Amino acid sequence: MKKSRGSNKALPIGEEIKEKVGAVLVVGGGVSGIQASLDLANSGFKVCLLDKFPSIGGTMSQLDKTFPTNDCAMCILAPKLVEVSRHPNVSLITNAEVESVEGTPGHFGVNIKKKARSIDETACTGCDICLDNCPVRNKPQISKPEVVLIKDEKIDAITDRYKDKEGSLIQALLDVNSQYNYLPENELRYIAERLDLPLSQVYSIGSFYSAFTFKPRGKHLIRVCTGTACHVRGASKILEEVERKLEINPGETTEDKTFTLETVNCLGCCALGPVMVVDEDYHGKLTVNKVEKILKSYG
């Protein structure tokens, strides 16, 4: 469908505009789009509100509470939804996407692609009967991938320790982390199963805390302290030298899986700064020149 306002043909860019058109297309029917449409419509502009989903409301309609006041999201949004749908100056175009925009301010032409609804909009009354009778509704369209969980006795031992203890997931993951040096995927799925927690919760903990990583670490773990005390004593130069020598960035592992480089915010041995720890060995009062020798002694 091609939609253009003012004249039938959009003016090419640069051509002088004689008469500006007081109509606006708002793209995106979330709360900000709705509010913008209402403000414009109340000031007398004709507004087309477009959204790619079959209904307007956006993310806010799915939220329980809003930041920072903890107000109920629907209580704010619902009156606006009703108002925008009833406003004489607003027309809704849903289930549609913008394909291209041409023209100049005051004379835009917009190509909109309306997706197939497969329902005659003029005849539909929204009675809901088809919805109730639809045999495929509420069935997942994509089948869940079959994941074979490998039984892991180490994990069994850990989960036995923490089962039925409220709030112990972080503790359990710390134990997994010290067993494997990282959090392997199979073990995470397995622990979620054993502790009867959603995998998403396990993943959110694993990705939030800096002690955890989903990638295997190398044979030697290098941690360069970038705490303030070390920083003012030149830790960044040390870090750069390690990066250069190993050709990896912090958080990465060398190709031969010998070294993993990480930074740490403070080791609390500031008297030694700048300091770097390889596995359990502390190397203090570093200079750029000492780095190579230390790395060679492990490599």
Partner 1 sequence: MKLNSPEELEKLREKILSERDPNKPCIAICAGTGCLALGAQRVINAFKEEIRKQELEAEVDIRETGCPGFCEKGTVVVIYPEGICYFQVQPEDSPEIISAIKEKKIVDRLLYTDPSTGKKVIHEHEIPFYKNQTRLLIDSNVKIDPKNIEDYIALGGYSALSKALSRMTPEQVLEEVKKSDLRGRGGGGFPTGRKWETTRNAPGEPKYVIVNCDEGDPGAFMDRALMEGNPHSVLEGLTIGAYAIGSHEGFIYIRQEYPLAVENVKIALKQAKIYGFAGKNILGSNFDFTIKVHRGAGAFVSGESSALMTALEGKVGEPRPKHIHTSIEGLWNKPSNLNNVETWANIPLIINRGAKWFSRIGTEKSKGTKIFSLVGKVNNTGLVEVPMGTTLRKLIYDIGGGIPEGKKFKAVQTGGPSGGCVPESLIDLPIDFDELKKAGSMMGSGGMIIMDEDTCMVDVARYFLNFLKDESCGKCTPCREGVAQMHAILTDICEGRGTENDLELLEELAEVVKDTSLCQLGATSPNPVLSTLRYFRDEYNAHIMDKKCPARVCKALIHYSIIEEKCTGCGLCAKKCPQGAIIGERRKPHVIDQSRCIKCGICFDSCRFDAIEVK
Q: List contacts with partner 1 (CB under 8 A).
A: 67-68, 70, 166-171, 173-174, 201, 204-205, 208-212, 226-234, 237, 240-241, 244, 264-273, 275, 282, 284, 287-289
- Cα–Cα distance for residue pair 264/269, rounded to 1 Å: 12
Q: How far is the CB of 210 from partner 1 (least distance, A)?
A: 4
Asked if residue 272 lies in contact with residue 282, where contact means CB atoms within 8 angstroms, the answer is yes
Q: Which is nearer to partner 1, 117 or 285 (CB)?
A: 285
Q: What share of the chain is helix, strand, coil (3-state, %, to 5)?
A: 35, 20, 45
Q: How far is the CB of 284 from partner 1 (least distance, A)?
A: 7
- Tokens, residue 39: 């403000």
CA-based nearest residue to 150, from 191, 179, 188, 190: 190
Q: Give 231-274 as a DSSP string.
A: HHTTHHHHHHHHHHHHT--TT-B-TTS-EEEEEES--S-GGG-S
Q: How far is the CB of 248 from partner 1 (least distance, A)?
A: 15
Q: Which is nearer to partner 1, 185 or 292 (CB)?
A: 292
Q: Which is nearer to partner 1, 59 or 70 (CB)?
A: 70
Residues in a beta bridge with 97: 113
Q: Which is nearer to partner 1, 7 or 210 (CB)?
A: 210
Q: How far is the CB of 200 from partner 1 (least distance, A)?
A: 11
Q: Which is nearer to partner 1, 59 or 289 (CB)?
A: 289
Q: How far is the CB of 72 from partner 1 (least distance, A)?
A: 14
Q: How far is the CB of 232 from partner 1 (least distance, A)?
A: 5
CA-based nearest residue to 31, from 69, 67, 68, 84: 84
Measured in degrees and rounded to the nearest 5, phi and psi for residue 257 equal 60, 25
Q: Which is nearer to partner 1, 112 or 174 (CB)?
A: 174
